């Protein structure tokens, strides 16, 4: 019984991945039906991989030490 569950889990995972990656089933058909006289295909812009700079946190100002109270004589 446990083996059947594992097989079902693997199959469902594979189907889920396949359905996610396939996307629009008609997308390839639309591309294939494009007229041959169309303009040059637009080149996709390269993905900007620059990591935005993390703003530096300003140092917290140091709290001045409280003056020591002199001990009262006994």
Tell me the per-residue pLDDT of 5-25, one tens digit each, with 9 for 90 and over: 777 777 776 666 555 555 555
The tokens describing 63, both together, are: 């709290």
Cα(44)–Cα(6) distance, integer angstroms: 41
Cα(18)–Cα(10) distance, integer angstroms: 12
H-run or E-run covering 57: none
Cα(47)–Cα(73) distance, integer angstroms: 75
Tell me the per-residue pLDDT of 34-71, one tens digit each, with 9 for 90 and over: 555 555 556 666 666 676 677 777 777 777 777 777 77
Nearest to 21 by CA among 30, 13, 32, 11: 13
The predicted pLDDT at position 41 comes to: 59
Predicted structure pTM score: 0.23
């Amino acid at each position: 019984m446990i083996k059947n569950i594992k097989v079902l889990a693997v199959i469902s995972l594979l189907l889920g991945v396949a359905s996610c990656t396939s996307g629009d089933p008609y997308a390839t058909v639309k591309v294939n039906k494009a007229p041959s006289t169309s303009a040059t295909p637009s080149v996709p812009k390269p993905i900007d991989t620059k990591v935005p700079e993390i703003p530096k946190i300003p140092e917290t100002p140091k709290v001045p030490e409280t003056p020591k109270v002199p001990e009262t004589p006994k």
